């Protein structure tokens, strides 16, 4: 197979930080490249026309506090914490939303500015209910930090003595406490602008203003996709994940329970941030030691079941292609969509249900693992599955919703009992008196401790597609993928563009490997086919791809599309450490790809533990009857439904 890879220009919007400005002069001036002189606190700099005062100050390393501002989001300018003095202006101006269109002089920390900022913070504190030391965001709260920065040592304008709103804990994923809300509207901009779901909005006016769902219904009763991106951008404790750590501790302390935990790659690449490390440091094996110290009986690698997902999902894709290309079955749903992001699955259920048969029937790695632990692992170790407690460490709040879906019990029990976010596990480790950074390294436990680099890169956008291509291309062509792409790294599907489209011509085919010989006799029908794939992250971009498919655009011609609900993929999930930004997500991706390169085996179909699983347990092979019962949902690539 040759490598004339074709990539189209990404179908993305302008960066969020450039949307929603007071004027769109910056976009027009970007073409002209016009520079404007600005003086900030006596320091001169030239910036592009339309640059905000906040952006200019950051270029000079001058700190201006912000609260409603977030690098991922469109500008709002509602909190006014960032006010500055602009020479010639009668009133203070919001630095985050003031575009520089002519030479100006700015002062950022005069007595007038400091007093205004402190009064704004005082007013926010007066409408903010609760004690900081009982809050989930204690020591990580932006309002708390600003109060300390500006010397707020008493409630100048009084305080809220009792809560005004009931806490909404209806969702398995997200808990809302509007008594802590400061009306910065970050959650609204995240849900509407970043994700284009639109669950949240502002209702009422004056002192009755609040952030609410449609008709102020509980979160579980609206079209929330449980992605948790609102949590990652909330500056206070108004939004938090539904935390099961007390139940997990109870299970650990119960001598009758056998508690196992699986850990996904993205939390391992980010948890160090909770302990003071800069983003981009993976603590995979230090975390294994910490988990044993916490009392977990077994620590397994989710990358194992990610490899398993690739085998099942890749085989399903080949089956769909065979039906479409050989049997000319026009009812086959192509392109096939990935199914490992539960936020994406919920999104398509809510907004594009007519395309559900395009979604792979393969479960996510989390859920595949749960089914195996309570069947294969239980049999192997003679443990009663009713005594096994399965915990999943995930970067994603939607995983909490996924494991509580009533259909996720193919083992005969609830396949995954509890989902933990990265932040929640960090809390458990601290609670156990463990300094994660000082832990020795230790490996995962067998039989699920062997994984590959393909499993690791599931954590970054494009990783599922790259893993699938490493396996499918090698199975079909008979050539080592390293001969097709340098170091087996399929760079065209990597990156943080919102949408990517890649064409891969199949110019030669090889013999059918034994692993899938029960399903295919030869690959001749694939010779000369150009495999068309797409990658997309964030549901705002997913919407664009889906609308393109509906309109019969180029993505409707794809064979396989990876969808991830969160920006950056799992490494930007709603359970990851805060803050988040494009730079932080990029650093986590570097850590993930570095781990991939460190593996001796980097392709899912070469994982010896996976091959052993098919030999000993899933004996009818990938997409066989037993696999479909445990590892897939009801829809099968053969177009039948199983009970």
Question: Which residue is listed with tokens 């959650």?
Answer: 187
Q: Which of 149, 379, 407, 615 is catalytic?
A: 407
Rounded distance, CA 27 to CA 50, Å? 8
Please report, to the nearest 10 degrees, the dihedral formed by the alpha carbons of residues 625, 626, 627, 631 taken in order.
Answer: 120
Specify whether the CB–CB gap between 50 and 127 falls below 8 A.
Answer: no
Catalytic-residue membership of 402: yes
Q: Which of 570, 603, 623, 627 is catalytic?
A: 570
**Helix, strand or coil, per DSSP, at residue 218:** coil
Q: Which of 180, 298, 374, 399 is catalytic?
A: 399
Catalytic-residue membership of 360: yes
Q: How many residues does the chain have?
A: 643
Q: Which of 340, 403, 558, 623 is catalytic?
A: 340
Rounded distance, CA 310 to CA 308, Å? 5
Q: Which of 142, 286, 312, 313 is catalytic?
A: 313
Rounded distance, CA 630 to CA 408, Å? 9
Please report, to the nearest 10 degrees, the dihedral formed by the alpha carbons of residues 235, 238, 241, 246 taken in order.
Answer: 120
Burial of 528 (0-12, 13-18, 19+ CB in 10 A): exposed
Catalytic-residue membership of 184: no
Q: Which of 85, 273, 312, 402 is catalytic?
A: 402
Catalytic-residue membership of 424: no
Helix axes 422-431 and 245-253, enclosed angle (nearest 10): 50
Q: Which of 286, 316, 489, 562 is catalytic?
A: 316
Question: Which residue is listed with tokens 């575009």?
Answer: 99
Rounded distance, CA 189 to CA 170, Å? 22
Q: Which of 360, 361, 411, 627 is catalytic?
A: 360
Specify whether the CB–CB gap between 189 and 74 falls below 8 A.
Answer: yes
Q: What is the 3-state secondary structure (H, E, C) of 331-357?
A: CCCCCEECCCCHHHHHHHHHHCHHHHH
Please, what is the end-to-end C-alpha distance for the chain in angstroms? 40
Catalytic-residue membership of 558: no
Specify whether the CB–CB gap between 398 and 173 falls below 8 A.
Answer: yes
Residue 76 C-alpha from the chain's centroid: 24
Rounded distance, CA 287 to CA 261, Å? 12
Find residue 537's DSSP bridge partners: 564
The two three-digit tokens of residue 613, written as one number: 């699983």
Catalytic-residue membership of 570: yes
Active-site residue list: 313, 316, 340, 360, 399, 402, 407, 570
């Amino acid at each position: 197979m040759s490598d004339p890879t074709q990539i189209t220009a990404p179908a993305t919007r302008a960066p969020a930080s450039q949307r929603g400005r007071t004027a769109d002069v910056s976009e027009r001036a970007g073409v002209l490249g016009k520079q404007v002189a600005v003086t900030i606190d006596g320091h001169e700099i030239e910036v592009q026309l339309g640059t905000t005062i906040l952006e200019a100050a950051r270029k000079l390393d001058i700190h201006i506090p912000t609260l409603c501002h977030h690098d991922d989001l469109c500008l709002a300018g509602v909190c006014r914490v960032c006010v500055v003095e602009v020479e010639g202006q009668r009133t203070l101006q919001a630095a985050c939303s003031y575009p520089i269109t002519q030479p100006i002089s700015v002062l950022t920390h005069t007595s007038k500015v400091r007093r205004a900022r402190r009064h704004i913070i005082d007013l926010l504190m007066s409408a903010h209910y609760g004690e900081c030391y009982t809050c989930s965001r204690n020591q990580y709260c932006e309002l708390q930090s600003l109060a300390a920065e500006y010397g707020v040592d008493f409630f100048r304008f009084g305080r809220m003595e009792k809560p005004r709103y009931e806490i909404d804990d209806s969702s398995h994923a997200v808990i809302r406490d509007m008594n802590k809300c400061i009306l910065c509207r970050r959650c609204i901009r995240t849900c509407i602008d970043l994700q284009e779901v639109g669950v949240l909005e502002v209702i009422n006016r004056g002192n009755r203003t609040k952030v609410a769902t449609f008709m102020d219904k509980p979160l579980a009763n609206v079209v929330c996709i449980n992605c948790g991106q609102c949590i990652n951008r909330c500056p206070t404790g108004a939004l938090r994940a539904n935390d099961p750590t007390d139940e997990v501790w109870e299970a650990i302390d119960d001598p009758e329970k056998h508690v196992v935990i699986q850990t996904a790659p993205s939390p391992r690449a980010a948890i160090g941030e909770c302990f003071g490390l800069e983003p981009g440091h993976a603590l995979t094996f230090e975390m294994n030691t910490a988990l044993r110290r916490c009392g977990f009986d077994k620590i397994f690698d989710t990358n194992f079941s990610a490899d398993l997902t690739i085998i099942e999902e890749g085989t399903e894709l080949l089956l769909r292609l065979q039906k479409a290309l050989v049997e000319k079955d026009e009812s086959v749903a192509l392109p096939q969509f990935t199914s490992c992001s539960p936020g994406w699955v919920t999104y398509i259920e809510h907004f594009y249900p007519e395309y559900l048969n395009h979604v792979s029937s393969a479960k996510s790695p989390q859920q595949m693992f749960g089914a195996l632990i309570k069947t294969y692992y239980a049999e192997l170790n003679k443990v009663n599955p009713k005594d096994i407690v399965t915990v999943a460490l995930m970067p994603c709040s939607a995983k909490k919703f996924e494991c509580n879906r009533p259909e996720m019990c193919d083992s005969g029990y609830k396949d995954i009992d509890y989902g933990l976010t990265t932040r929640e596990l960090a809390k458990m480790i601290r609670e156990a008196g463990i300094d994660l950074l000082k832990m020795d390294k230790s490996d995962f436990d067998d039989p699920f401790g062997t994984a590959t680099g393909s499993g690791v890169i599931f954590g970054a956008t494009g990783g599922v597609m790259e893993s699938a291509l490493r396996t499918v291309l090698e199975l079909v062509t008979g050539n080592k993928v390293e001969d097709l792409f340098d170091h087996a790294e399929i760079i065209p599907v990597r990156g943080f563009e919102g949408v990517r489209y890649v064409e891969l011509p199949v110019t030669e085919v090889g013999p059918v490997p034994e692993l899938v010989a029960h399903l295919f006799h030869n690959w001749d029908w694939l010779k000369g086919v150009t495999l068309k794939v797409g990658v997309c992250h964030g549901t705002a971009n997913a919407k664009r791809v889906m609308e393109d498919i509906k309109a019969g655009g180029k993505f409707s011609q794809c064979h396989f599309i990876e969808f991830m609900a969160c920006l950056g993929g799992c490494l930007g999930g709603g359970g990851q450490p805060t803050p988040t930004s494009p730079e932080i997500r990029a650093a986590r991706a570097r850590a993930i790809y570095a781990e991939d390169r460190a593996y001796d085996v980097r392709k899912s179909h070469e994982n010896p533990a996976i091959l052993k699983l098919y030999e000993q347990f899933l004996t009818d092979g990938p997409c066989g009857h037993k696999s479909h019962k445990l590892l897939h949902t009801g829809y099968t690539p053969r177009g039948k439904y199983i009970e």
